[in-house]
A and B are shown apart, each in its own frame.
Chain A
Amino acid sequence: MEAAKFLDQPENREAARTISQHVLAEVEPSELEVSVGLIDPLLDMAAQGEMATADSSDEAGGFGGSDLLVMVVVPLVVTVLGDLLVEVGKVGIKEIKEKLEQRKDAKDLILVASSSNVDAVVRHAQSLRGAGRKKELTRALATALLEYLEVE
């Protein structure tokens, strides 16, 4: 519900989109070209509290898997931004920025939020690619958030 509320505002949605792109560009640059157009539909899903699950099967003869990293990155970004939102008690990205500027533990807050959600999101998305890149995802997400929220 928090995520849904958060994504209602266009600037928040833009923030989630930008951060998702940054994370993807860092973790899987070759996927960015084909995945960036899927960010918006995935944000729509997230806004309704839904989440696409990845199929990692490689069964000969089957339709094939859908294990795109974007399917992990978008829900992860939305979840972490949602957590920050709850933490600072604000609903707008600008307000979050302002609030974080005043907090000395802003960086720690972002780092904790980034690392604490990866496991759950990857597990929920059932993504093998995501599972193999948890560390990279955490690092890239933290960097993208710190940059976007201008926290040093």
Chain B
Amino acid sequence: MMDTASEADHKLNVFALPSQTSIIFGLIVAVLLGTVFAGSIGPSPTPLWPLAIGLLLLPLRELLARPEREFARYGLSAAGDALDDLQRFVENQAKAIGLRRTPKLVVSSDKRLKQPYTFGTFRHWYIALNHEMAKKMQEDLLNPDVVPQVEAKLVHELYHFKTGDYWQLGYARELLRITFLLMIWAATFLCGLGFLLLIAAPDFVSFDFVEQLNQIETLTPEMREMIIRIMPSQAAIDQVRQKAAEINLSLVINFAVSATLPFVIIGGLLRGFFWPKLWRMRELYADAGVVHTQGDVKPYLSALTGIPLTFMKRYPSVLSVGQETSDKQTRQIKNRIKDQWRKVCEMIKHHPEPPTRIKCVKDPGHVFDPWFITALLVGSLALLLDILLSSPLTLLYVGSWPMHFSTLMIMVIVALSIIPPIVQGRPVWTDLVKIVAFAMILRLGWALLTIGLLVVLLVLAPGVLDQVLAYAVAATAHFAGHSEQLGFDDLTAFVIKAAVLNTAQVFIIAFVLVSSLILVAFLLRRLLTWYSLPHASQRLMKIAYGIIGVEALCVGLAVLPLLTTMLLNPADLLKPITIGVAFLSLIITAISLLLFLRADKQYAMRCPVCGAEISGTYRIGKSCNTCSELLHPWLTVRYKV
């Protein structure tokens, strides 16, 4: 919130901060593609890499083919000469906002096309409009009172290209769709393959190649000898036969289902909740683009509400007179429930509710989620990732590096999410701790649920537990479909070890996360006082990302592996690979820290214009006490509310 009237015009420039759309897109891709790739490089008897390659490339292919499908779906065609003025207007607007190419206007008479929308590939961009709407827009261009309203709508669409969300959404949409299809296909294929192997196994086991050769009368003894020589040895054939004899159809189905079902379920959850959020976020950014471009919120409000701009213009302000809800009203439980219910309903919508959109335009800080929403996002995704990584494809890695992937993911997302409040000059320590605590509570809940189930089975039905664990082992990629070495010698010892390690890890990781994030927050806050950094608008956020990257490297390659090795295999602590990797990452961290301190000495707390020392802590819209130069002007934007 702005503190003084003099700062009221300086709004937070959301485009100078990490894009929330890109973060959500990155999360969806990392969860789905990352885990399949991790599973593909493991020692699996089933070749999973084609699945990973398919999941990477098929969405890309679909993204490139999408314009063709959209043209067919709505019967779209090029706007034509009759809409030249509108196309020229779009061209001018595209240039004005710095787009490197102009989207083509395409029109259709299809009644389903009620509102303008954007789509495209990396090289071809389109804005689709209903023909009637396009004609009306072109007519409106002749009326100066309405032009800003038309401009607002078109600039909103153009900003989808400016932010690049059009391809992120296009790719994510296809990734989610293809994950579902490909995993269903993979489950069917694996089950079919297992079934085929099972049918072929008896024949294969009883098949005697030498005897078959001997029955071929046309072969000369020399040829027979030669063929036998190039055949695998009898021992090797016996080994394969033994493996074939051990194939168990139920275990194969168990593997196929356990390997693919988590992807289908988690893909569904991502589609249900994260996908609409991605849509909502992109709309908020496009709205911000409109008010930044027009320097006024009235044309945007007019475009959104349909209230003619002439009526809006009669009043000096249509937003700043807004009053906060009174205490009495907010205290009413009924209203609180209503608000929460509205927020829940909003979670599955493609657009933010109009009040939310207006609120974000009025105070762009609202674009960034409050701590609870970030906690929900981070916690649920980390939990999903933990469950997904416990799937057969990746269980072997998870066994060696428990919770590392999701921990690093939490660290990076929380670090990115604290940049906006730090830029706004808000304290982040408590939010940071609350977010980590929430994620850890979810994780602890999951761990306790699993441990509780193990204990209950151990006490009440040890035989069932033995069977369940055997199935779990058989379901991992390493043993897929085989029934050897599945038993546990000491079930009680296994359950106790699993309980202690899993519970301990939750607390240890929470401690690692909080301490590393506090360090990141401190460095980021300090970074924002580098007022005299040359080209700060282009470099400062890159340095911020660098800080987060180095911290993630240190935690991912030194802190977590060392802690895990200490917990699981203390004897491996002195292995050269363990020490080498940790040492290397610590050296990189130390060098980065030294560079940071050197730059800090050079650029911190100094006015870029007069060189005078700047006192006090950083806050948005802060000016130099000596020359009144606005510090970090690129973090703010001015427009009328």
Contact = CB atoms under 8 A, between A and B. Distances in A.
B325 A38 contact: no
B325 A63 contact: no
Interface centre among A34, A55, A60, A61 (most CB of B within 10 A): A61
A63 B153 contact: yes
Interface in B218-247: none
Contacts of B124: none
Contact of A29 (B279, B308, B335): B335
Contact of A30 (B279, B355, B362): B355
Interface stretch (A64-72, A99-107, A111-119, A142-150): A64-72
B350 A59 contact: yes
Given A29-B335, A38-B307, A62 B114 contact: yes
A67 B356 CA distance: 11
B355 A35 contact: yes
A74 to B, nearest CB: 10
B303 A63 contact: yes
B321 interface: yes
Nearest to B360: A34
Interface residues of A, number: 34
B478 interface: no
Contacts of A31: 355
A74 B304 CA distance: 17
A37 B116 contact: no
Interface in B308-362: 308, 311-312, 314-315, 317-326, 329-330, 335, 338-339, 342, 349-355, 357-359, 362
Contacts of B359: 33-34
A41 B324 CA distance: 20
B106 to A, nearest CB: 13
A69 B67 CA distance: 37
Nearest to A25: B329
B115 A34 contact: no
Contacts of B156: 63
B354 A65 contact: yes
A86 interface: no
B301 interface: yes
Interface in A52-95: 52-55, 57-68, 71
Contacts of B351: 58, 62, 64-65
Given A61-B118, A64-B283, A64-B357, A41 B321 contact: no
A14 interface: no
A15 interface: no
A42 interface: yes
B114 A57 contact: yes
A90 to B, nearest CB: 27
B471 interface: no
Interface string A24-54: 0100111111111110111011000000111
Nearest to A43: B311
Contacts of A64: 115, 283, 304, 350-352, 354, 357
A127 B483 CA distance: 62
A40 B321 CA distance: 11
Chain B interface extent, by class:
35 or more
A62 B355 contact: no
Contact of B350 (A29, A34, A45, A60): A60
Interface in B83-134: 114-119
A61 B322 contact: no
B305 interface: yes
B463 interface: no
Contact of B326 (A25, A44, A62): A25
A41 B118 contact: no
B311 A44 contact: yes
Nearest to B160: A61
B279 A60 contact: yes
A111 B397 CA distance: 69
Contacts of B339: 29-30
B616 interface: no
A71 B463 CA distance: 66
A33 B353 CA distance: 14
B306 interface: yes
A32 B118 CA distance: 32
B305 A52 contact: yes
Contacts of A37: 315, 317-322
Contacts of A28: 338, 355
Contacts of B330: 29
A42 B359 CA distance: 19
B86 to A, nearest CB: 16
Contacts of B307: 38, 41-42, 45, 52
Contact of B305 (A29, A30, A58, A71): A71
A78 B321 CA distance: 21
Contacts of B279: 60
B153 to A, nearest CB: 6
A57 to B, nearest CB: 6
B350 A41 contact: no
Contacts of A60: 279, 350
Interface centre among A29, A55, A66, A67 (most CB of B within 10 A): A29
Contacts of B318: 37-38, 40-41
Interface centre among A62, A66, A68 (most CB of B within 10 A): A62
B310 to A, nearest CB: 9
B358 to A, nearest CB: 4
Contacts of A40: 314-315, 318
A66 B329 contact: no
A29 B314 contact: no
Contact of B308 (A30, A32, A45): A45
A29 B325 contact: yes
Given A29-B330, A31-B355, A58-B351, A41 B314 contact: yes
Contacts of A62: 114-117, 351
Contacts of B114: 57, 59, 62
A42 to B, nearest CB: 6
A25 B157 CA distance: 33
B355 A68 contact: yes
Contact of B325 (A33, A54, A57): A33
Nearest to A45: B311
Given A44-B314, A65-B351, A34 B305 contact: no
Contacts of B358: 34-35
Given A45-B311, A52-B305, A58-B351, 19 more contacts: A28-B355, A29-B330, A29-B339, A30-B325, A34-B362, A37-B315, A42-B307, A58-B349, A59-B115, A60-B279, A61-B115, A62-B115, A62-B116, A62-B117, A64-B115, A64-B304, A64-B350, A68-B305, A68-B355
Enumerate the 5 nearest inter-chain pairs by beta-carbon distance, A residue then B residue, closest first. A62-B115, A61-B117, A64-B351, A37-B318, A41-B311
